[in-house]
């Protein structure tokens, strides 16, 4: 199992942010204000900028993970910093060393307090970190998180070659192998459905063959795994007499548990 240090290093490299370096000098003694007043970028360090007042520069640092946005600075924003994916740092390639501390940070998925970071194992997942707390986002099916742009893109465009397929399950049901599923007529099914083996009324839908979701037929119906539709219990061998003990169906079954007026199987039901 990877150590926390290795995991964080991998996330940092996956983030697409400028190379992490420690600035040699935080003083503003060598910086000359281009104008008497305003915010101005440091020429080397992307997360460092200056507030000039009467031609006197005061060095400032963005919050950990953010970089100085010159457009925001010129517009006079109170916080002229933003995440690296939306700021062009140009040749300002340095950033101060991350203040990440595995003992005190809220989330191991946040190598910095702020930013968007790729999951190094599952290419369709990424983390948005704010104040050291992460939220996870899944890319739409078939897309990968692009480390260069910070957005979801087609796999070929993202160019990530070491991707693992994340196994997603509900109640011990997983959509393994569902991508190539076909219906009873041999047609490919984009969102195949499967029976809940513990409850005939319920079933699972594998969205895009990958993400499971629990669903249910209406009362009195059961899931037919052949047609992948809801049907009468007597039309599904494994579910015959499913509602025989339900108080709403006391007049539907005889004493032996057989339906008094069985359906002819021609009714249409949609799951």
Q: What pLDDT, in 10s, does the model give residues 29-80? A: 689 999 999 999 999 999 999 999 999 999 999 999 999 999 999 998 989 9
Highest mean pLDDT among 113-117, 160-164, 206-210: 113-117
Q: Does 14 have pLDDT greater than 50?
A: no
Q: Does 115 have pLDDT greater than 80?
A: yes
The mean per-residue pLDDT over the stretch 141-150 comes to 90
pLDDT at 244: 86
pLDDT at 165: 76
Q: In what order do the strands lie in the sheet with 48-53?
A: 38-41, 48-53, 56-61
Q: Does 28 have pLDDT greater than 80?
A: no
**pTM score, two decimals?**
0.61
pLDDT at 178: 62
End-to-end CA distance of the chain: 42
Q: Does 3 have pLDDT greater than 50?
A: no
Average pLDDT of the chain to the nearest whole number: 81
Strand (E) or helix (H) holding 72:
helix 70-74
Nearest by Cα to 169 from 198, 211, 209: 211
Q: In what order do the strands lie in the sheet with 125-130?
A: 115-118, 125-130, 133-138
């Amino acid at each position: 199992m990877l150590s926390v240090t290795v995991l964080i290093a991998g996330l940092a490299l996956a983030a697409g942010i400028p190379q992490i370096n420690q600035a040699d000098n935080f003083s503003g003694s060598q910086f000359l204000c281009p104008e008497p007043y305003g915010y101005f970028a440091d020429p080397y360090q992307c997360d460092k900028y200056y507030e000039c007042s009467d031609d006197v520069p005061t060095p400032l640092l963005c919050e950990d993970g953010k970089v100085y946005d010159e457009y925001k600075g010129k517009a006079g924003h109170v916080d002229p910093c933003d995440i690296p994916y939306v700021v062009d740092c140009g040749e300002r390639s340095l950033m101060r060393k991350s203040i990440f501390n595995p003992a005190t940070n809220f989330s191991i998925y946040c190598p910095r307090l702020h930013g968007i970071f790729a999951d190094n194992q599952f290419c369709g997942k990424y983390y948005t970190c704010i104040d050291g707390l992460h939220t996870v986002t899944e890319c739409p099916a078939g897309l990968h998180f692009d480390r260069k742009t910070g957005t979801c893109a087609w796999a070929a465009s993202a160019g990530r070659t070491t991707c693992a397929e994340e196994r997603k399950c509900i109640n011990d049901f997983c959509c393994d192998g569902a991508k190539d599923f076909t219906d009873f007529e041999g047609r490919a099914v984009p969102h195949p459905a499967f029976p809940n083996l513990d409850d005939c009324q319920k079933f699972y839908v594998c969205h895009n063959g990958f993400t499971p979701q629990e669903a249910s037929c209406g009362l009195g119906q059961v899931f037919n795994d052949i047609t992948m539709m809801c049907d009468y219990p007597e039309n599904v061998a494994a579910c015959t007499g499913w509602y025989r003990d339900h108080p709403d169906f006391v007049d539907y079954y005889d004493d032996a548990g057989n339906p008094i007026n069985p359906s002819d199987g021609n009714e249409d039901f949609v799951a």
